[in-house]
């Protein structure tokens, strides 16, 4: 059975989905939102570019607000006038990519950016 990509969710359904699957996201003023903290303008730009790539590939575009050390991502399906499966799917992919931390497992081939040296660290991981 095909998924109706334009069917919207109620406030209670949205809150339940966020709580279960996207705990760092919140529902506010008709949008699902997430603020990513960074260590610098470089990190902010990297997050914006990652989100931009995912949004363009998905053909579903969030609203972004940014400052020196943070990026807010806001998702809502304008054509459906509410939150749809597309918003949850893109939020999950953004969360996966932006919060990815190489080097967490033993003997990991990718070590990740040094978090104790601000010249190199960029995302403040949750």
Tokens 């949850």 belong to which residue? 88
Q: Element (H or E) spanning 44, and its range?
A: helix 41-58
Residue 1 banded pLDDT, cuts 50, 70, 90: low
Residue 14 has pLDDT above 90, yes or no: yes
pLDDT in tens, 15-71: 999 999 999 999 999 999 999 999 999 999 999 999 999 999 999 999 999 999 999
Handedness of CA 17, 19, 22, 26 (dihedral sign): positive
pLDDT in tens, 73-96: 999 999 999 999 999 999 999 999
User: Angle formed by the axes of helices 11-21 and 85-98, to 10°?
Assistant: 20
Q: What is the pTM of this model?
A: 0.92
Task: Identify any residues that bridge with 73 across adjacent strands, giving them in sequence order.
Answer: 34, 64
Structural domains of the chain ordered from first start: 11-98 (3.30.1360.20)
pLDDT at 27: 98
pLDDT in tens, 90-121: 999 999 999 998 877 778 888 888 878 878 88
pLDDT at 121: 80
């Amino acid at each position: 059975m095909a998924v109706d990509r334009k069917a919207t969710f109620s406030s209670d359904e949205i809150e339940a989905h966020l709580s279960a699957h996207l705990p760092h996201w919140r529902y506010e003023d008709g949008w699902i939102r997430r603020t990513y903290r960074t260590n610098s303008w470089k990190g902010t730009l990297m997050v914006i570019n990652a989100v931009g790539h995912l949004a363009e590939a998905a053909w579903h575009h969030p609203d972004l607000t940014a400052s020196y050390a943070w990026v807010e991502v806001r998702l809502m399906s304008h054509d459906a006038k509410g939150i749809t499966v597309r918003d949850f799917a893109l939020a999950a992919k953004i969360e996966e990519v932006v919060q990815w931390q190489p080097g967490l497992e033993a003997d990991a081939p990718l070590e990740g950016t040094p978090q104790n040296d601000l010249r190199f660290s960029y995302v403040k991981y949750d």
